[in-house]
Amino acid sequence: MKLGIVGATGMVGRVMIDQLENLNFPSDELYLSASEKSIGKEFFFRKKKYTILSINELLSKSLHIVLFSAGSDVSKQWAPKFAEMGVTVIDNSSAWRMDPNKKLIVPEINGFCLKKTDKIIANPNCSTIQLVMILYPLHLEYCIDRVVVSTYQSITGTGQKALNQFNKEKEGFSYYEDEYEKIYPYPIFQNVLPHCDSFLDNGYTIEEIKLMKETKKIMNDKKISITATSARVPVIGGHSESVNITFKKEPDINRIYEILSKTKGVIVQDSPKENIYPMPFFSHGKDEVFVGRIRKDYSCINSLNLWIVADNLRKGAATNTIQIAELLIEKKYV
């Protein structure tokens, strides 16, 4: 299996390489590409040496699969060129997610709908993946009417520059008096920014719109009402989500536990009196989605609250991308 990664030196790209080793992914040959300034440079990862190629060079390698994680513009320009040459692209940007002719895949949920002819496959937004991993199995049983979600998003979602800004502020540098590279419009250390990605005219951020639209597409149900508020918190290790769900049928809390406990890729952590609940400090480096604080919302019929945490670089990005690749191999589509 010949595999390529575009955007290999970024935060998600590095986790992808890491995951390929962890998951014993059958890649006999791995080729890496990154931005212009890295081309030709040697890149060491886990004691292995890679030479960074240009995307054009990658295109000539007769790859089976190429994983893209280099932003929307790169994907829009290059993914079709790989697809035309018969290479299956799994794209981690937002470029193709809402394209009606492209599939937006979380393997546990809608992996079954993949076909051999799908040459550009979209990987969902990080905060969407962990949300649908919990919503979907509950939707099958109780039919979701409405979801209200508020996120607590890790700075790793913004990339290495965000970590650099955080570290400078942690060391005592002043956002307004000292010079250092600032990726956020305000200090992130000891602060919360109700602002992930850019704002649209309707007052929502692109991140919030992604959460709402992608959820409906993955769950293949346009009738689900969903609203979202996304906030950036000074956290590393994972995104957290406070979720209120209203079902069409009355949910049974014990049955909810049963469903989620049996859901592949989900771990229930819910013994609050023993301080067992999901937290980003502990989701760091884990592939699963963690759920807890599951409790009836006594204020509204058929409703409950719960708390979801996952490593946004793992299941929220790299892990899900590689799981899509694994599924394609298993189905002999590549």
Instruction: Give me the residues that bind its own copies (CB under 8 A), please.
Output: 146, 148, 150, 152, 170, 185-187, 190-195, 199, 202-205, 212, 225-227, 229, 231, 233-237, 240, 242, 244, 272-273, 275, 277-282, 292-300, 303, 305, 307, 309
Q: How far is the CB of 242 from its own copies (least distance, A)?
A: 4
The set of long-range contacts for 295-302, using a CB threshold of 8 Å and a minimum separation of 24, is 295/253, 296/251, 296/253, 297/244, 297/246, 300/246, 301/246, 301/250, 302/142, 302/145, 302/246, 302/247, 302/248, 302/249, 302/250, 302/251
**Amino acid, single-letter form, for residue 313:** L
Residue (87 or 235) nearer to its own copies, CB = 235
Task: Note if 284 is an active site residue.
Answer: no
Distance CA 204, CA 209 (A): 7
Torsion of the alpha carbons at 254, 280, 97 and 84, rounded to the nearest 10 = -120
Among this protein's residues, is 196 annotated catalytic?
no
What are the two backbone dihedrals, phi and then psi, of residue 246, each rounded to the nearest 5 degrees? -110, 125
Q: CB 29 → its own copies: shortest distance, Å?
A: 37
Q: Shortest approach of its own copies to residue 86 CB, angstroms?
A: 41
Nearer Cβ to its own copies (63/306): 306
Tokens of 325: 């690749």
Q: Which is nearer to its own copies, 112 or 281 (CB)?
A: 281
Q: What share of the chain is helix, strand, coil (3-state, %, to 5)?
A: 35, 25, 40
The active-site residue out of 64, 139, 239, 284 is 239
Helix H, strand E, coil C: the string for 21-64 is HHCCCCCCEEEEECCHHHCCCEEEECCEEEECECHHHHHCCCCC
Options 126, 139, 196, 284, the catalytic residue: 126
In the complex, the smallest distance separating the C-beta of residue 111 from its own copies, rounded to whole angstroms, is 27
Q: How far is the CB of 31 from its own copies (least distance, A)?
A: 34
Judged by beta carbon, residue 83 or residue 233, the one nearer its own copies is 233
> Smaller CB distance to its own copies: residue 93 or 125?
125
- Give me the half-sphere count of Cα atoms (radius 13 Å) on the Cβ side of residue 108: 20
Query: CB of residue 256 vs its own copies: minimum separation in angstroms?
Result: 12
Compute and round to an integer the Cα radius of gyration of the chain: 20
User: 268: which strand partners?
Assistant: 291
**Active site residues per annotation:** 126, 239
